[in-house]
């Protein structure tokens, strides 16, 4: 295990500490110096020559988090690291994965190109917005799934009349996998958006009468969709509504929306730090999942046995 080192960017320090505790290794020493104009520089405070380095940093906004990771990668390359493994629990810009209208950027591909040019040898990430984004990279991608921690949590609730639901048809594949795992019904919500982050209308496809509904999504940003879906479930006869999602973006007034909604709770992983406290929001750590993945990568073992679905 001494052949590798784990370093953290500023934004994901809280998670890296838990990962290192799970691995039983000290966290690598890195110094990030910030200047008055907002520029910053990165330097490793110990030798990484010939070592496998794992750089942990989610790339959620602002853009400093991505730039910081790019500088960490470049510094590791110039310091003769044997391999550079980017651990990005939340891969930012992933929603820009295609041209959905004329004259727009494909942000996810651009970020993938930047990481590759910077010099990564491997990417470890979790629940990309679209699975095919793995193809944006020409290096190995270990794509983890939050279901590894969210499914056991749902099981622990012991809900009597469980129904899995998705707040939009785009997440039907993920929700279908959950419903097959539990052997329970699947309900879809069909929504229309006049513009990003705004939901115009929503309809339920399926029966939720007297059901204990669990909404499944990959991320929650403004919480407009997930709370509207929860309220609609109750209006259509559901007994209770909860939600689970991989990434806790929760921007703007999302926490207030969740608090005032029909949701009993919403459960995320800790891929993104959450500072706006909301009584209905709970986070489950993925530190052990990532730590075990790092261990298996170092030992050249398969990681597929970690997947529940």
Residues classed as catalytic:
191
The partner residues of 31 in beta bridges, in order of sequence, read 43
| Angle, vertex CA 206, rays to CA 203 and CA 211, nearest 5 | 110
How far is it, in rounded angstroms, from Cα 3 to Cα 256?
Answer: 46
Closest CA to 118 of 39, 169, 42, 28: 42
Q: How many residues does the chain have?
A: 309
Which secondary-structure segment (H or E) carries 149? Answer: helix 147-157
Sign of the torsion angle spanned by Cα atoms 16, 63, 166, 224:
positive
How far is it, in rounded angstroms, from Cα 209 to Cα 207?
Answer: 6
Instruction: Provide the pairing of β-strand 281-284 with 266-269.
Output: parallel
The partner residues of 158 in beta bridges, in order of sequence, read none
> How many other CB atoms sit within 10 Å of the CB of residue 299?
9
**306 token code pair:** 């970690």
The partner residues of 138 in beta bridges, in order of sequence, read none
Q: Which residue's entry shows tokens 């050249």? A: 300
| Angle, vertex CA 226, rays to CA 224 and CA 232, nearest 5 | 100
Please give the C-alpha separations between residue 272 and each of 62, 129, 153, 265, 275, in angstroms, as whole numbers.
Answer: 12, 15, 19, 18, 10
How far is it, in rounded angstroms, from Cα 146 to Cα 151?
Answer: 8
The answer to whether residues 294 and 19 touch, using CB atoms and an 8 Å cutoff, is yes
């Amino acid at each position: 295990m001494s052949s590798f080192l784990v370093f953290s960017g500023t934004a994901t320090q809280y998670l890296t500490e838990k990962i290192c505790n799970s691995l039983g290794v000290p966290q690598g020493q890195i110094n990030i110096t910030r200047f008055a104009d907002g520029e910053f520089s990165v330097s490793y405070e110990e030798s990484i020559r010939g070592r496998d380095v794992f750089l942990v940093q989610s790339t959620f906004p602002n853009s400093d988090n991505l730039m910081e990771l790019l500088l960490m990668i470049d510094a590791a390359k110039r310091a003769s690291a044997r391999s550079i493994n980017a651990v990005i629990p939340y891969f930012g810009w992933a929603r820009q994965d295609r041209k959905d209208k004329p004259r727009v950027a494909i942000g996810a591909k651009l970020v993938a190109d930047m990481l590759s040019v910077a010099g990564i040898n491997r990417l470890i990430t979790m629940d990309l917005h679209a699975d095919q984004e793995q193809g944006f990279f020409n290096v190995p991608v270990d794509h983890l799934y939050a279901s590894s921690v969210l499914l056991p949590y749902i099981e622990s609730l012991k809900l009597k009349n469980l129904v899995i639901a998705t707040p939009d048809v785009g997440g039907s594949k993920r929700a279908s996998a959950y419903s097959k795992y539990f052997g329970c019904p699947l309900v879809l919500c069909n929504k229309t958006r006049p513009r990003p982050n705004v939901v115009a209308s929503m309809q339920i496809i399926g029966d939720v009468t007297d059901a204990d509904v669990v909404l499944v999504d990959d991320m929650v940003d403004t919480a407009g969709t997930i709370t509207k879906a929860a309220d609609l479930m109750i209006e259509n006869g559901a007994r209770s509504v909860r939600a689970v999602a991989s990434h806790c973006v929760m921007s703007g007034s999302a926490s207030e929306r969740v608090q005032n909604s029909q949701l009993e709770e919403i459960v995320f992983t800790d891929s993104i730090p959450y500072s706006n406290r909301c009584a209905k929001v709970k986070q489950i750590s993925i530190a052990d999942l990532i730590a075990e993945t790092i261990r298996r990568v170092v030992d050249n073992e398969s990681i597929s046995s970690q997947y529940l679905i």
